[in-house]
Copies of this chain bind each other. A is one copy, B any other.
Amino acid sequence: MAEQKKKSQPSEPLSDLIRRLYPICRSITGDGVRETLSIVSEWLSLELFEVPSGTPVFDWTVPNEWNVREAYVAKLDGDRVIDFRHQNLHVLNYSGAIDAVISRDELDNHLYSLPDHPDWIPYRTSYYAENWGFCVTQHQRDGLTDPAYRVVIDADLAPGSLTYAECFVQGESKQEVVLYTHICHPSLCNDNLSGIAVAAALGKALSACPRRHYSYRLVFGPGTIGSITWLSQNKERLKDIAHGLVIGLLGDDANFTYKRSRGGSNEIDDVVTYVLSQATPRHEVIDFSPYGYDERQFGSPGINLPVGRLTRSVNGGYAAYHSSGDDLSIISEARLQESVEIVTEILDTLEGNRRYINLSPNCEPQLGKRGLYRGTGGTEIADRESAMLWLLNQSDGTSSLLDIARKSGIKFSSLTSVADELRQAGLLDVSPE
């Protein structure tokens, strides 16, 4: 895939894509989501799904759709002191409509700010509790000294639909690898325009790459209610999900953190920890916990799919998390590209991680007569010969290439290449699943 990826490398850098998506007001529903997906579809072929408000999805119900036209706090002389047009984080996400003059004290009950970071606007939501409110910097809040203000939120919260999109790439097998990234956050860059951009690059590369073993499904959906909706709408398909990754927060300077699937020792867990350990000692692997992003739903007890999560920073793990501080300055093209490379390596390793059967299992086969072994003995063997011996010895159908790589210390990529040689020599075959 590495080669195909290079061919299909877009001329437009990922940070440019993020720069276009940054100003859009997104939420778990609404036109901001549709506009975002429309831009992403310039990179890869996306199928959009609209699930009507009111649709039952497991224990939940698809909520009304939310769209904001305008929102501000103004002095009574009309001077707007807080304005949604400047920064969409200003409005409490899923806030109801209001148009009223209220006292400063009453207004204060509807304000959210960060005393410890007086320059940042917090990101707050109220999806399922009716409320209205404004998120402001601490300086803005402190500057509200008039006795009364006019507050206007011109928003619809009305039946509509929840929108998600899929990029599907058919492979040889019905078995799927699912990648899920959340698209519901408004103007926040690392969380999660970075995930959207990385997924776009991966989908583009996968689509350009023929003859894959697995089928791949990239899902762009809102957090929590999005994965719940997707899982509920795709119940029949879940049995075909062989591996999965929730991806997000992939643009900042932090080292990679892998959060294991609920099972803890699924193949995806082995593959990601192997790829990260080969790539850099500076990474962290943490156990599953039922709090974070959409891995919570994939890892609920009734679903329990082998889906891990790859991020750089984790949820709540950096100062600017869920605030306007999570802006374009904290992500970089280099980190985004590195994230694309790591996920690509993970998918390539999943692809190559077959179990083989030694077709000549009684004693070593005579490699020399097949031209696979040096003629003169007495010296130590070459790495390639060592890889052959390990593969032949361990290929009884119980060990995958990754198992052999970890046991032998031989690089996974050396084993895949030697496996091809041995298959061509008739000494190895893929183990029936």
Contact = CB atoms under 8 A, between A and B. Distances in A.
Interface in A70-129: 92-93, 112, 122-129
Given A368-B129, A390-B290, A408-B289, A361 B302 contact: yes
A131 B378 CA distance: 15
Interface in A255-281: 262
Interface in A312-350: 316, 322
Nearest to A391: B290
A389 interface: yes
Given A124-B377, A301-B361, A291 B386 contact: yes
Contacts of A392: 290, 300-301
A231 interface: yes
Looking at chain A's contact residues, is the secondary structure mostly helix, strand, loop, or mixed? loop
Given A302-B362, A366-B60, A378 B123 contact: yes
The oligomer's copy count stands at 3
Nearest to A235: B362
Interface stretch (A147-155, A240-248, A393-401): A393-401
A314 to B, nearest CB: 12
A139 to B, nearest CB: 20
Interface in A281-304: 287, 289-291, 296-297, 299-304
Nearest to A130: B375
A131 B375 contact: yes
Contacts of A379: 124, 322
A126 B376 CA distance: 5
A249 to B, nearest CB: 15
Choose among A60, A316, A390, A407 the residue with the greatest number of B CB atoms under 10 Å from its CB: A60
B375 A128 contact: yes
A89 to B, nearest CB: 10
Contacts of A304: 396
A215 interface: no
Contact of A231 (B112, B300, B363): B363
A360 interface: yes
A292 B361 CA distance: 18
Given A363-B228, A393-B300, A378 B262 contact: no
B127 A296 contact: no
A291 B125 contact: no
Given A303-B363, A361-B302, A375 B129 contact: yes
A6 interface: no
Nearest to A224: B364
A363 B122 contact: no
A172 interface: no
8 contacts: A59-B360, A124-B379, A289-B390, A291-B386, A296-B389, A301-B393, A322-B378, A322-B379
